[in-house]
Structures are given as C-alpha cells and as structure tokens.
C-alpha cells in the first residue's frame, strides 16, 4: 500500500505542479486545432464518476438515415414532422382493415364538392346551399309561410315614381297646333344690335319715358346722401393770406423770441478763460453738508 501510494503521489506530482503553474500564470499555453483540453483537468475531475442521468444525456441521438432512408428528404413536405411516405412493413401489407377503417376510407360522393363548380364562385369556399330537392323528400311538398312569402316579395316603388323618359319623345298634337301669344312672339324676337362688342352711345328713347313723372318715393331714393353736420372739406395746400394777418403787428414777447442768439466764435472762446460769467449770488453761496458729502471723492 505504501509503495503504491508513493507511486501514485509521485505520478500525480508533476500534473498538480503543472496545473498550479498554469493557474498561477492565468493563461494556458495551448495551440488551436488539437484534441487537448484548454485547461488541465484536476485529480477530482479525472477520478469523478458520471451519474446515470448524465450518462443518459451523453448518449448521441440515433441516426435514422441508414439503409433505404439514407439521404431521403423526410422533411421536405412534412412541416417538420416525420414523413409518412416510407416503405410499408411486410406485416402491415398482410394486415386486414377493420370495418371502421374501411368506412372512413370511403370517399365522399357528393356531386356539389366537385371542383370548378359554379356554386363555389360566390360562396367563399363554403358548400353552396343551392341544390336540387328530390320529389320524394318529406320537405318538398311543404307550403311556405305567409311571413316567408312577404319577405320574398321585392320592394315596391313609390306611388309617385315615374320612370325616366327617353331623350327623343313625341310631341303632342295640341302642342303642334298651338299658336303663341303676342307676348311670346315679342319675347322670342331677337334683339337687333349692330355688329361689334359695344352698342351705340345713343339710342332712341320712347315718348312715354320722356313724359314720365317720377313718384315721390323714387325722388326720395334718387336724392344723394348728405354730409354730416360740421363736416369740413380738406384744406388746400396753398391758400391766400388774409388782409388782417398781413397788417398784424408782433408784440414785444414775440420779437424777443424771434431774435436769434448771438454767440462768440468758438475760436475765440478757446483762448478766453473767463468766457462764462458767474452770478454774484452763486459766488456768495455756501455749500450744505449734504452737497459737501456728495462732492467728496471716493477713495478706492
């Protein structure tokens, strides 16, 4: 026991040391494309035994494409399910179908299910309710109810409804022999106008229009709208000066305001230090404490 344990420890020593060395370095030295593991396996992993469930999951799936099923397109028209088109077993070929299976295997014999039938044109794929009723059917000689008869009658038009008249219609005899009145003939006579876009500026006025007298109401409506009280028309830009304004004499105040200010030339004022005179009262004035406080400069 001692020798075997020593041998196992000595044999496992290089593996553990190599594992510790790689783990401490943080990155294994491995070349891609080999069958070796990226990280060395520990002793616990090497001596571990898989459970029954892990062994069952590790079994690969069975390959059914063998023999006659090799490379057969099972999934082409089966929507992911296993194709039902396969070789039938010999035992199945010798089997006998039951009465129920034979009944289900019988095809329908309804003639209305035939393709390209005109009943399917406006039925959205449903079975058409139109079919021939046999004379021997118990429902064939039955009479409809009064309510069914009322519902089957089409909608009647309005009592005052008149159908549309054709474009060419016959003229009545009375219309053909009728003679228009004088007023109708006057209205039907076209106006006689000279050629051109505008009519003549003068046209004859009948004598009755010349001798007509307007009524008081027409006279009132023909009166122009009067101006408001106090209305003044716009004054013209130029208007004559009245004689009183030309003979007026200006007062002394107007003469003082009209007198222009006489100022000395600026070239002379630049060399005159006493250009402005200070009033005697201003020279004798005393500053108040507030003014002296405001006049004191701020020390910054």
pTM over 0.75: no
CB atoms within 10 A of CB 289: 7
Separation CA 129–CA 120 (nearest Å): 10
Residues 119, 130: contact at Cβ < 8 Å? yes
pLDDT digits (tens, 9 = 90+) for 125-139: 555 556 666 665 565
**Positions of E strands within 162-258:** none
| Residue for token pair 């794929």 | 125
Of 57, 80, 47, 83, nearest to 68 (Cα)?
A: 83
Separation CA 182–CA 180 (nearest Å): 7
What parts of the chain have a pLDDT lower than 50? 1-12, 14-15, 113
CB atoms within 10 A of CB 293: 9
CB atoms within 10 A of CB 12: 13
Separation CA 48–CA 26 (nearest Å): 25
**Residue 266 CA: distances (Å) to CA of 192, 263, 269, 271, 272:** 91, 9, 5, 9, 10
Say what the alpha-carbon torsion angle 262, 267, 273, 279 is, to the nearest 10 degrees: 10
The pLDDT assigned to 107 comes to 80
The pLDDT assigned to 100 comes to 92
The pLDDT assigned to 164 comes to 85
Q: With 0-12 CB in 10 A as exposed, 13-18 as middle and 19+ as buried, what is 100?
A: exposed
Residues 19, 37: contact at Cβ < 8 Å? no
Of 145, 143, 113, nearest to 126 (Cα)?
A: 113
The pLDDT assigned to 51 comes to 93
């Amino acid at each position: 026991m001692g020798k075997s344990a020593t041998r196992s420890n000595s044999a496992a020593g290089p593996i553990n040391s190599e594992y510790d060395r790689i783990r401490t370095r943080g990155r294994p030295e491995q070349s891609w494309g080999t069958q070796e593991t990226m990280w060395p396996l520990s002793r616990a992993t090497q001596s571990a035994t898989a459970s029954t469930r892990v062994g069952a999951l590790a079994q690969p799936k069975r390959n059914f494409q063998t023999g006659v099923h090799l490379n057969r397109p099972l999934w082409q028209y089966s929507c992911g399910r296993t194709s039902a088109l396969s070789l039938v077993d010999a035992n199945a070929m010798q089997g006998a179908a039951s009465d129920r299976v034979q009944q289900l295997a019988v095809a329908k014999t309804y003639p209305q299910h035939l393709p390209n039938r005109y009943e399917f044109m406006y039925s959205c794929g449903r079975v058409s309710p139109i079919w021939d009723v046999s004379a021997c059917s118990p429902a064939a000689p039955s009479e409809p109810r009064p309510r069914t008869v009322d519902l089957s009658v089409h909608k009647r038009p309005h009592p005052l409804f008149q159908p549309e008249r054709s474009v060419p219609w016959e003229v009545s005899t009375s219309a053909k022999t009728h003679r228009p009145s004088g007023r109708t003939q006057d209205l039907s006579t076209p106006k006689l106008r000279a050629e051109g876009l505008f009519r003549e500026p003068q046209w004859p006025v009948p004598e009755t229009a010349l001798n007509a007298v307007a009524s008081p109401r027409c006279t009132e409506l023909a009166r122009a709208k009067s101006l408001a009280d106090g209305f003044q028309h716009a004054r013209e830009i130029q208007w004559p000066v009245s004689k009183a304004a030309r003979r007026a004499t200006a007062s002394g105040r107007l003469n003082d305001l009209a007198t222009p200010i006489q100022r000395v030339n600026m070239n002379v004022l630049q060399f005159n230090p006493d250009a402005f005179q200070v009033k005697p009262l201003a020279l004798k004035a005393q500053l108040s404490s507030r003014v002296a406080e405001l006049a004191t400069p701020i020390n910054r």
